[in-house]
Structure 1
Amino acid sequence: MKEQVKKVGNQGGAIYGMALLGALVYFIQHATTFWGGMLGILKAVFWPAMILYKVLELLKL
């Protein structure tokens, strides 16, 4: 008997990408120095992951 595999699209990458882009724009616009901009890039990379962690923590998942 052959098993049926249902393929499901992965929209999580698109959501993460949009959050990353929005955070990147926000943090760079508010940077006053070059190093503040570099720190903003790092914050933008980790910001969506921290938000997801906090939401899952609140939902007790």
Structure 2
Amino acid sequence: MAESRRRVQVVESNGTWGVFFLLAYVGAAIYFISHSDGSFWAVVLGLLQAMVWPAYAIYHGLALLGA
């Protein structure tokens, strides 16, 4: 029984996007925390807002378009 073996090569190239999203999160976190009053829960809320800032951007962009 001759068994043919195929070699499969998987290429992952997500490293650049990961760094971009990390920098975007850090920048958004700095923005939201700097606009808070500095209390513990305001900082936690700023970190949570930094995770979902694209939703803010889309919402305000659509509001500007009148949608």
**TM-score normalised over the length of structure 2:** 0.57
Do structure 1's residue 40 and structure 2's residue 49 form an aligned pair? no
Q: Which moved more, 1:29-38 or 1:17-26?
A: 29-38
Q: Which residue does the alignment assign to 1:5?
A: 9
**TM-score normalised over the length of structure 1:** 0.61
CA distance in 2, matches of 1:21, 1:42: 12
CA distance in 1, matches of 2:38, 2:18: 31
Q: What value does the CA root-mean-square deviation take over the aligned residues?
A: 2.2
Deviation per residue, 1:28-55 (Å, 9 max, x gap): 111014122221110012224x37xx4x
Q: Which residue does the alignment assign to 1:14?
A: 19
Percent pairwise identity:
31
Unpaired runs of at least 5, structure 1: 55-61
1:45 aligned partner, one-letter code: M
User: In the TM superposition, what is the alpha-carbon distance from 1:9 to its structure 2 partner?
Assistant: 1.8
Q: When the two structures are aligned, how many residues end up with a matched partner?
A: 51
Taking CA–CA contacts closer than 8 Å with sequence separation of 6 or more, which of the two structures ends up with the larger relative contact order? 1
Q: Deviation above 6 Å: which 4+ runs of structure 1?
A: none
